[in-house]
């Protein structure tokens, strides 16, 4: 490429950046100008043919078209390209006393079925019985009563309810409230490692990249308490074969836990359990809402 052609390419980038210079919102201006600079640099590096560029446009079009109330392909793309965890790291990566975070993923449902502590979110599904309990605390150590604990997970085949073609299908999700001592507890079944949906654009991108689509088995949590930052995380099953190659890069060591094989458990509250089950105890620590405000300000 001649020097004149190269400088013309950069002149075009400069012209678009300059056209955004008067955007009234400074954050919009900064974001759009960075987007144009990086997008143009990407195109200059890759030097797509017109056919390749049309393929890229078609890919994004199909990504939008496959989305509906139960399918979120853009989140899958963001997750599998590591962008979701990068955003997570930027926003929550400062460390500290609170529980580590990870991706929300595409299967969260706002306002899940309300449950009472001790309820079974498996509701008769086949699988290995799992009892989960824990305490939600503030960074200072005090327990948090009345915190909202949303949980959701796959079944024993690695499937989520949202993947069934039935709008009324809901299983393995629920909303709990911590009791006066900050405790929550529920019955479920063991989750299984699973491939993210591969029948759409995100799946074809993984195949083209020679990547497997699997996530290690986990239970999702989203916990909210007044005066604290909401916590979005998972607890992963120790020993899972995909812990080191999670397709969405979401595993952190502190989130891997032993789902113990037991025949007897004395729960934090309620009668003892005397039958074979798996047992998970995991306590969560929420960061103070003011910590975030201070960091941002
Ligand atoms: Fe998941």
Reduce the DSSP state of residue 38 to 3 states and report it: helix
Residues 6+ apart with CB under 8 A from 21: 29, 33
Please determine, for residue 131, whether its predicted confidence score (pLDDT) is greater than 80.
Answer: yes
Distance 44 CA to ligand 1 centre (A): 37
The pLDDT, as a whole number, for residue 164 is: 85
Is the pLDDT at 4 greater than 80? The verdict is: no
How many H helices and E strands in the chain?
7, 12
Residue 264's alpha-carbon distances to 131, 275, 282, in angstroms, are 11, 6, 18
Separation of CA 132 and ligand 1 centre (Å): 17
294 has a pLDDT exceeding 60: no
pLDDT of the residue at 105: 87
CA distance 18 to 184: 55
Distance 180 CA to ligand 1 centre (A): 29
The two tokens of residue 98 are: 């609170």
Task: Report the pLDDT averaged over residues 102-108.
Answer: 90
Q: With bands split at pLDDT 50, 70 and 90, how would you rate the model's confidence at 170?
A: confident
For 135, the 3-state DSSP assignment is: strand
Q: Which residue has the higher pLDDT, 203 or 163?
A: 203
- pLDDT tens, residue by residue, 180-205: 999 999 999 999 999 999 999 999 99
CATH superfamily of the domain spanning 74-296: Aromatic compound dioxygenase (2.60.130.10)
Q: How many A from CA of 38 to the centre of ligand 1?
A: 31
**Residue 232 and residue 103: Cα distance in Å, rounded?**
7
pLDDT of 252 over the 90 cut: yes
Question: What integer pLDDT is reported at residue 95 of this predicted model?
Answer: 64
Whether the CB-CB separation of 262 and 276 falls below 8 Å is answered with: yes
pTM of the model: 0.88
Report how far residue 295's alpha carbon sits from residue 238's, in angstroms, rounded to the nearest whole number: 33
Portions of the chain given CATH number 2.60.130.10: 74-296
């Amino acid at each position: 490429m001649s020097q004149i052609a190269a400088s013309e390419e950069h002149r075009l980038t400069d012209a678009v950046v300059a056209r955004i210079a008067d955007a009234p919102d400074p954050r919009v201006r900064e974001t759009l100008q960075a987007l144009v600079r990086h997008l143009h640099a990407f195109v200059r590096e890759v030097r797509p043919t017109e056919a390749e560029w049309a393929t890229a446009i078609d890919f994004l079009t199909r990504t939008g078209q496959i989305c509906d109330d139960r399918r979120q392909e853009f989140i899958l793309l963001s997750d599998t390209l590591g962008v979701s965890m990068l955003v997570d790291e930027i926003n929550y990566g400062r460390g500290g006393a609170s529980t580590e975070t990870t991706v929300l993923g595409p299967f969260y449902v706002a306002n899940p079925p309300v449950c009472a502590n001790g309820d079974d979110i498996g509701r008769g599904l086949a699988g290995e019985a799992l009892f989960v309990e824990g305490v939600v605390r503030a960074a200072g150590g005090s327990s948090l009563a009345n915190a909202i604990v949303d949980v959701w997970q796959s079944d024993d085949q690695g499937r989520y309810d949202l993947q069934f073609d039935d709008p009324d299908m809901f299983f393995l999700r629920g909303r709990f409230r911590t009791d006066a001592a900050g405790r929550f507890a529920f019955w479920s079944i063991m989750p299984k490692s699973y491939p993210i949906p591969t029948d759409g654009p995100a799946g074809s991108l993984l195949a083209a990249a020679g990547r497997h689509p699997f996530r290690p088995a986990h239970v999702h949590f989203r916990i909210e308490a007044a005066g604290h930052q909401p916590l979005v995380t998972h607890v992963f099953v120790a020993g899972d074969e995909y812990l080191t190659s999670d397709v969405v890069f979401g595993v952190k060591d502190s989130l891997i836990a032993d789902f113990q094989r037991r025949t007897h458990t004395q729960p934090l509250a309620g009668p003892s359990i005397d039958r074979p089950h798996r047992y998970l105890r995991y306590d969560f620590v929420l960061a103070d809402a003011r910590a975030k405000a201070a960091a941002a300000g």
